[in-house]
Amino acid sequence: MRLVIMGPPGAGKGTQSALISSKYGIPHVSTGDMFREILKRSDGLANRIRKYVESGELVPDELVVEMVRDRICRPDCEGGFILDGFPRTVAQAEALDRMLESAGKELNAVLYLRVSEEAVVRRLSRRRVCERCGAIYHLDYNPPKRPGVCDRCGGRLIQRDDDREEVIRERLRVYHEQTEPLINYYGEKGLLVEIDGCKEIHQVWEDVQRVLDPIASRGDC
Ligand code: ADP
Ligand code: AMP
């Protein structure tokens, strides 16, 4: 299955992508995670992208598109993937279409997690992530068993630098301006599946599986 998951920052894309990746056996390709990995280094590329990621702006399209092209050409993506955080602009979506077309492949579905702005702010301001494996927690809605420690790998849980109130506001502004047009873009292609992202994590997951199980069992993707 080749999937895109979209929605505002904090919609639950990373949370649902991890579940999807594990159940359906497809890699979770998160451009945000890839950028955060690059930022752990201090080379030229890290220096080029730092100011965008830290301020909640989008990294320039050509850089993101190249990074995704390299990633989805790797052998583990042969049987499909879930793209999380990409595309984020119409230009990126068009570039993805061209990439897939030249490989004779196509997207099976675009999951759109719809959530309210208040929910997003509540979720992001209390999100914690494992600095080692990237697992996602929430202090109230999905807390770790031991405070500050990742259940999965024992790594330290941290707050993302861009989960500060002023950066959250900017990321939401950028989302409305640059990413929301993709709802129409994929709607017109008949690929968009809207999912109520306001429900609890396990209920959203039920809804996601109800959409993906039939696609996965068709076996033509
Ligand atoms: P995104 O990848 O879209 O930015 P995340 O998956 O990181 O969003 O989720 C943002 C925060 O909200 C995390 O702290 C996560 O644990 C929490 N979360 C995710 N889905 C839900 C949900 N359905 N209900 C409540 N909290 C959620
Ligand atoms: P995320 O983890 O998806 O919230 O992304 C974190 C940050 O990485 C964003 O605020 C952007 O600065 C950058 N980023 C991630 N994906 C993209 C993308 N597709 N296009 C441009 N910038 C991106």
CA distance 168 to 52: 13
Which pLDDT value is given to residue 42?
Answer: 87
State in Å: Cα 8 to ligand 2 middle. 11
Q: What is the CATH number of the domain that holds 131?
A: 3.40.50.300
Taking the C-alpha atoms of residue 217 and residue 104, their distance in angstroms, rounded to an integer, is: 21
As a whole number of angstroms, the distance between CA 201 and CA 203 comes to 5
Task: Name the residue at shortest CA distance from atom 5 of ligand 1.
Answer: 12
Write the residue with the smallest CA distance to atom 12 of ligand 1.
123
Centroid of ligand 1 to alpha carbon of 27 (angstroms): 19
d(CA 161, CA 183): 28
Beta-strand pair 192-196/28-30:
unpaired
> Tens digit of pLDDT for each residue in 143-181?
999 999 999 999 999 999 999 988 999 999 999 999 999
The whole domain housing 44 covers: 2-218
User: What's the 16 CA to ligand 1 centre distance in angstroms?
Assistant: 8
Domain count, the chain: 1
If 0-12 CB within 10 Å is exposed, 13-18 middle and 19+ buried, where does residue 63 land? middle
Q: What percent of the chain has pLDDT over 90?
A: 96
- Residue range 2-11, pLDDT digits in tens: 999 999 999 9
Instruction: Give the number of the ligand closest to the Cα of residue 17.
Output: 1
Is 80 touching ligand 1 by the criterion CB < 6 Å? no
Q: What is the pTM of this model?
A: 0.96
Note the pLDDT of residue 218. Answer: 84
Average pLDDT, the chain: 96
Give catalytic residue positions: 13, 88, 127, 160, 171
> 56-114, pLDDT tens digit by residue?
999 999 999 999 999 999 999 999 999 999 999 999 999 999 999 999 999 999 999 99
114 and 194 Cβ atoms separated by less than 8 Å: yes
